[in-house]
Structure 1
Amino acid sequence: MEYEGQICRGPMERASYMLPVSVGCSYNQCRFCMLFKHLTYRELPLDQIEAELQRVFQAGGNPKTVFLGDGNAFQLDTERLLEILGRIHRYFPACETVNMDATVQNVLRKGEDELLALARAGVRHLYLGIETGLDDVLASMNKGHTLQQAYEAIDRIHRAGMIYDAHMMTGVAGKGRGLENAQALADFYNRTRPERIINFSMFIHREAPLYQDILEGRFTPADELENLREERLLLELLDTSLVYDGFHDIIPFRVRGTLPHDREKMLKKLDGAIGEQQGKEPLIALV
């Protein structure tokens, strides 16, 4: 597979066949993100996409699940997405679901008829980067949408018969606001009911715009102890059935399971990690 840039997809998609349909992120303005800053967004030619489908087909591939890359494949026009979906099903008759990342803006720009057509064509899971349940943090991180717009987009996803999953980041609200963000996110998720949550606990690249905010005093990062406490409160407050997977890149810690079934086990694991961090020098996830 030809792939330009860094492969980025949630762990729930590790068994999916990943089909690139674009390069980079069409938005690419979030202040914390460096995944796509070095890339110029563009859509891949249909001939190139079909050549990749042919390659996998000729190798005997017939995946049940396809994940469309890159940063927000749902940005593509509905007509183009439907053309790609048609080709996927032509080459892979076993394909039951096509998943991809999306932004709130992507969803709101598509009409209800378009969303229904995409759902009928096999689009199943849309991963939205919500990251925080606080409007002022969405604004300071330049996410490009408000909480109310996120509620509207998710409602439209559900009405079309698709499933919404959430990307989030403990620590995104900054020092001293972790528990506040956990409460706000729990309220948001309990209302919107994602099927999956992937938490990549926040790390800050020194070339990211957010690092300049730190240097100029506009943002103070939380340490990993606060991030762990934020994550614990979130898992304690979630009142909906979902699959959760949480990573901390700067410390060797990961907690995952299904709520509510695995809640106590997950909380116990977090308590252990919190205990290990207490009394240590504050650890900030800078890379």
Structure 2
Amino acid sequence: MNYEGQICRAPMERASFMLPVMVGCTYNRCKFCDLFKHLTYRELPLKQIEEELKRVQSAGGDPGKVFLGDGNAFSLSPDRLQEILEMIHSYFPSCEAVNMDATVTSILSKSQEDLDRLYKAGVRHLYIGIESGLDDVLTFMEKDHGLEEAYEAIRRLKKAGLIYDAHIMTGVAGHGRGRENAEALAEFFNRTQPRHIVNFSLFLHKDVSLYEEIKNGRFVPADELENLQEERRLLELLEEVQEIRYDGLHDFLEIRVRGILPREKEKMLEKLDRAIAEEKGKGIEAWVEGMPVP
């Protein structure tokens, strides 16, 4: 299948077969994101999806995991998702899990009965862009949810047996608010217990609407030292009822912090301590492609 746009999926899905079921993102309004701005959202025809399944099967493929793309596959109607899931299992009998990105709104738009039947049809992991633990930051960044809605969505998906994985962005609260955001996120995660946390530390790009907020002074970016300090505070405060896999990526710094909490927490904190010591005094911000601060 010819893939339109940029491939976007969590690191944990690198071994999954990626099956596009849509182009773009149904929401596409987050101020920090430019992944889908150039695309016109549309659902892919079921015939096209089935042709891709046939192609992979004829080549000997029978993947154990499938990841549905693109930006928010869980926004599809329950009936359409059910059709796609049934096709996947008919062509790939070894498939044990179908995973995808979701938004809080796409979860809340479905009834508990819908969530139950999608679990029974094979959906397992939903990756949710939580991004921040602060309601005013979520509002400013034009996320499609607040914290209370996120709590309710996670309660409902867990009731259905689905696994919740979180995307966050250190630096998203801006200069001087990293510690506050880390503490709010830690409280949220300690209450909701995700299976995975992926931190795509905020990068700054001139093609997103956040750039205009920076130019007019309504948003002051955190530097990379602040992002590292925020990340450390979050990991320090996480209380693990179950094992949590953490993966922290930084576009501008050559550091990646990943491991399993709680058993690797101290090793991860030590790595961040070294990076923080090296970063002190530099004042570097994560402008992609080295673009200068305006």
CA distance in 2, matches of 1:144, 1:247: 24
CA distance in 2, matches of 1:168, 1:279: 26
Deviation at 1:200, TM superposition (A): 0.5
CA distance in 2, matches of 1:220, 1:111: 40
Residues 125-167 of structure 1: per-residue CA shift (max 9 Å, x gap): 0000000000000000000211000000000110011001000
Deviation at 1:207, TM superposition (A): 1.2
Which position in structure 2 is the counterpart of 1:19? Answer: 19
Which position in structure 2 is the counterpart of 1:77? Answer: 77
CA distance in 2, matches of 1:283, 1:52: 44
Which position in structure 1 is the counterpart of 2:292? Answer: none
CA distance in 2, matches of 1:190, 1:42: 37
CA distance in 1, matches of 2:194, 2:162: 11
Residues 56-91 of structure 1: per-residue CA shift (max 9 Å, x gap): 000000000000000000010000000000000000
Matched ranges for 1:30-109 at <5 A: 30-109=30-109
Letter in 2 for 1:250: F
* 1:159 counterpart = 2:159: yes
TM-score normalised according to structure 2 size: 0.97
After superposition, the CA RMSD in angstroms is 0.5
CA distance in 2, matches of 1:182, 1:220: 17
Matched ranges for 1:1-287 at <5 A: 1-240=1-240, 241-280=243-282, 282-287=283-288
Structure 2, unaligned stretches of length 5 or more?
A: 289-294
CA distance in 1, matches of 2:251, 2:39: 23
Residues 77-128 of structure 1: per-residue CA shift (max 9 Å, x gap): 0000000000000000000000000000000000111000000000000000
- Contact 2:103-2:144 within 8 A present in 1 as well: no
Residues 182-209 of structure 1: per-residue CA shift (max 9 Å, x gap): 0000000000100000101000111100
Which position in structure 1 is the counterpart of 2:291? Answer: none
Name the SS for the 2:37 alignment partner: coil
Aligned length: 286
Name the SS for the 2:212 alignment partner: helix
Name the SS for the 2:260 alignment partner: strand
CA distance in 1, matches of 2:158, 2:270: 33
- Contact 2:167-2:198 within 8 A present in 1 as well: yes
CA distance in 2, matches of 1:144, 1:20: 23
Deviation at 1:7, TM superposition (A): 0.2
Letter in 1 for 2:107: V
TM-score normalised according to structure 1 size: 0.99
Letter in 2 for 1:252: E
CA distance in 2, matches of 1:18, 1:168: 22
CA distance in 2, matches of 1:157, 1:111: 10
Name the SS for the 2:86 alignment partner: helix
Letter in 1 for 2:257: V
- Contact 2:138-2:145 within 8 A present in 1 as well: yes
Residues 195-231 of structure 1: per-residue CA shift (max 9 Å, x gap): 0001010001111000000000100000000000000
Deviation at 1:286, TM superposition (A): 1.5
CA distance in 1, matches of 2:155, 2:281: 44
Deviation at 1:279, TM superposition (A): 2.3
Deviation at 1:2, TM superposition (A): 1.6
CA distance in 2, matches of 1:192, 1:25: 26
CA distance in 1, matches of 2:48, 2:156: 32
Runs of 4+ in 1 over 4 A off after TM superposition: none
- Contact 2:169-2:201 within 8 A present in 1 as well: yes
Structure 1, unaligned stretches of length 5 or more?
A: none
